[in-house]
């Protein structure tokens, strides 16, 4: 119920080569099994005699062998003759001319194989050690700071978003501004009338060109940012302000202070296609999963709901609930929600000041996998797209951003600089930079997630270009 909230968790596992299984039917305490020293001859033409090579008689010169065995003995029997210089010269000449300087007695037809290194064979995989990964440097200060005057200090709103075209949108009072991250230029999109404002939420469509703007009057406007043109205004879905928005292809999901969640198909005239009933207070957090099959919603009633797209219905059956899971573990408002990019059924949620926890959920079973007390209100959560890490933003007392290693939930870094609670966070399209907006009316940029490895060129955005094609001819 509190305007503040908090939570946390994360980890990574390594694979090892399993040891050779012990042969069956071995007597207990018997001699341990040892693998053979060689699995076969290295030279296919060579015969294998176990651990020895037997010389072949056909390759031997018996007369030459007899000479070498008896000649040294004659020298020992007659030391004076052996010491004679003439005798020694004659012996060397005879060996050179007659024996061709051969000195070996035994001769092998095939060269013996090289000795087998059994330890190297058994641990060939372990020998090739994986090079140690260089530890990433995490800057402790913001890369850039921009002023954000008139930023509404309201925990339940969502006033910051970063689109796929690398343009960041932020609502300051009744005005929506666009900041182009590529050029650094700023432009004003719209200033709404006092009767409709202030702006309570902003959310980019997947194409990075169109944007939804939620208003205090309960209306939602759809804008084309390339032409600064208002395409349409959605009315009648809610009775109070719209504080949360989430896109699922051409479906815009809106959450209001009236507790209702509405799916709107922006391509058709009668835009309301589904309504979810479950919250009895303001819906302050909405996030679709990467697959678009599950929707997570958090509210000021301390509830977290998981909705299945296939179970939604425009008309709710009597006595039938629409949610897949109703999770009641948080002790304060649930605004911070983040779906894991590397595990589709993993959701992280953060609670307000009376809870201060980050919790991890298996959305298939509804089980809580882990809960971490962060010690302060959790305002926003973001996953690293390139590593198993989670970033959280907080309120009183430190007003910091905390980077956690998942799943161990060890703190990797704490980024400070804001002087008031960090209400909103947004991630750049490449996943490296994070923008944070705080009640101190500053917008800061952090290079917290590093530089991703060389990735293939981004796929063409053709899948998103057709969402608004029918605006000139709304059915």
> What's the pLDDT tens digit per position in 388-447?
999 999 998 889 999 999 999 999 999 999 999 999 999 999 999 999 999 999 999 999
Residue 127: inside a domain = no
Q: Is the pLDDT of residue 238 over 60?
A: yes
Residue 165: inside a domain = yes
Q: Are 466 and 205 in contact (CB under 8 A)?
A: no
The 10s digit of each residue's pLDDT in 262-321 is 999 999 999 999 999 999 999 999 999 999 999 999 999 999 999 998 875 544 444 445
Q: Using pLDDT thresholds of 50, 70 and 90, give the confidence band for residue 13.
A: very low
Which long-range contacts (C-beta less than 8 Å, at least 24 apart) are formed by 59-63? 59/107, 59/108, 59/109, 60/106, 60/107, 61/102, 61/107
Q: Is the pLDDT of residue 44 over 90?
A: no
Residue 189: inside a domain = yes
Residue 458: inside a domain = no
Mean pLDDT of 72-77: 58
Q: Using pLDDT thresholds of 50, 70 and 90, give the confidence band for residue 458.
A: very low
Mean pLDDT of 1-5: 48
Residue 179: inside a domain = yes
Phi, psi dihedrals of residue 14, rounded to the nearest 5° = -120, 150
Task: Say which range, 54-68, 238-252, 316-330, 331-345, has the weakest mean pLDDT.
Answer: 54-68
Phi, psi dihedrals of residue 93, rounded to the nearest 5° = -65, -40
CA 72 to chain centre: 78
Task: Say which range, 90-94, 264-268, 336-340, 441-445, has the weakest mean pLDDT.
Answer: 90-94
Closest CA to 425 of 405, 445, 397: 445
Mean pLDDT of 236-263: 96
Cα–Cα distance between 64 and 424 in angstroms, integer? Answer: 95
pLDDT for 359 equals: 98
Q: Which domain holds residue 412?
A: 146-446
Closest CA to 17 of 107, 109, 125: 125
Residue 129: inside a domain = no
Q: Is the pLDDT of residue 10 over 80?
A: no
Mean pLDDT of 180-204: 96
Average pLDDT, the chain: 81
pLDDT for 405 equals: 96
Strands 261-265 and 251-256: antiparallel
Q: Is the pLDDT of residue 178 over 90?
A: yes
Cα–Cα distance between 35 and 21 in angstroms, integer? Answer: 11
CATH code of the domain in which 265 resides: 2.130.10.10
Q: Are 399 and 126 in contact (CB under 8 A)?
A: no
pTM (2 d.p.): 0.70
pLDDT for 110 equals: 62
Residue 473: inside a domain = no
- H or E segment to which residue 76 belongs: helix 62-77
Q: Using pLDDT thresholds of 50, 70 and 90, give the confidence band for residue 91.
A: confident
Q: Using pLDDT thresholds of 50, 70 and 90, give the confidence band for residue 453.
A: low
User: Phi-psi bin for 64: left (phi > 0), alpha (psi -120 to 50), beta?
Assistant: alpha
pLDDT for 66 equals: 73
Residue 456: inside a domain = no
Percentage of residues in the chain having pLDDT higher than 70: 70
Q: Are 279 and 261 in contact (CB under 8 A)?
A: yes
The 10s digit of each residue's pLDDT in 95-126 is 776 666 565 555 555 666 677 665 665 555 55
Q: Are 391 and 401 in contact (CB under 8 A)?
A: yes
The 10s digit of each residue's pLDDT in 150-163 is 999 999 999 999 99
When divided into structural domains, the chain yields a total of: 1
Q: Using pLDDT thresholds of 50, 70 and 90, give the confidence band for residue 60.
A: low
Q: Using pLDDT thresholds of 50, 70 and 90, give the confidence band for residue 473.
A: very low
pLDDT for 322 equals: 80
pLDDT for 70 equals: 72
Q: Is the pLDDT of residue 233 over 60?
A: yes
Q: Is the pLDDT of residue 186 over 60?
A: yes
């Amino acid at each position: 119920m509190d305007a503040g909230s908090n939570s946390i968790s994360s980890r990574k596992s390594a694979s090892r080569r399993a040891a050779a299984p012990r042969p069956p039917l071995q007597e207990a305490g018997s001699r341990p099994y040892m693998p053979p020293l060689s699995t076969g001859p290295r030279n296919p033409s060579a015969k294998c005699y176990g651990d020895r090579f037997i010389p072949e008689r056909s390759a031997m010169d018996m007369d030459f062998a007899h000479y070498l065995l008896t000649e040294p003995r004659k020298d020992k029997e007659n030391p004076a003759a052996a010491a004679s210089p003439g005798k020694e010269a004659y012996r060397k000449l005879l060996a050179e001319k007659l024996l061709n300087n051969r000195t070996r007695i035994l001769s092998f037809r095939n060269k013996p194989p090289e000795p087998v290194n059994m330890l190297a064979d058994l641990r060939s995989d372990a020998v090739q050690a994986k090079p140690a990964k260089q530890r990433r440097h995490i800057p402790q200060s913001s890369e850039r700071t921009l002023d954000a005057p008139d930023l509404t200090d309201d925990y339940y709103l969502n006033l910051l978003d970063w689109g796929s075209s690398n343009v960041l949108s932020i609502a300051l009072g009744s005005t929506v501004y666009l900041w182009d991250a590529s050029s650094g230029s700023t432009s004003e999109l719209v200033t709404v009338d006092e009767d409709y404002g202030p702006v309570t939420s902003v959310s980019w469509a997947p194409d990075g060109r169109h944007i939804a703007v939620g208003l205090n009057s309960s209306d939602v406007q759809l804008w084309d940012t390339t032409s600064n043109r208002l395409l349409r205004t959605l009315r009648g879905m809610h009775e109070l302000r719209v504080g949360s928005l989430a896109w699922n292809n051409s479906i815009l999901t809106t959450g209001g202070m009236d507790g209702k969640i509405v799916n709107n198909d922006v391509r058709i005239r009668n835009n309301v296609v589904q309504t979810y009933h479950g919250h009895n207070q303001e819906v302050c957090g909405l996030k679709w999963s990467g697959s678009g099959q599950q929707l997570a919603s958090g509210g000021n009633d301390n509830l977290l709901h998981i909705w299945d797209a296939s179970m939604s219905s425009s008309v709710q059956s009597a006595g039938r609930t629409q949610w897949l899971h109703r999770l009641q573990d948080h002790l304060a408002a649930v605004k911070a929600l983040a779906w894991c990019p590397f595990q589709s059924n993993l959701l992280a949620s953060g609670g307000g000041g009376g809870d201060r926890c980050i919790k991890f959920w298996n959305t298939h079973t509804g089980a809580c996998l882990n809960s971490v007390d962060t010690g302060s209100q959790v305002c926003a959560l973001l996953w690293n797209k390139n590593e198993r890490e989670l970033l959280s933003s907080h309120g009183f007392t430190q007003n910091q951003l905390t980077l956690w290693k998942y799943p161990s939930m060890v703190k990797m870094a704490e980024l400070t600089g804001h002087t008031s609670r960090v209400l909103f966070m947004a991630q750049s399209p490449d996943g490296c930079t994070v923008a944070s907006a705080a009640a101190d009316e500053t917008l800061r940029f952090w290079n917290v997630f590093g530089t991703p490895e060389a990735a293939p060129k981004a796929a063409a955005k053709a899948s998103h270009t057709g969402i608004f094609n029918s605006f000139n001819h709304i059915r």
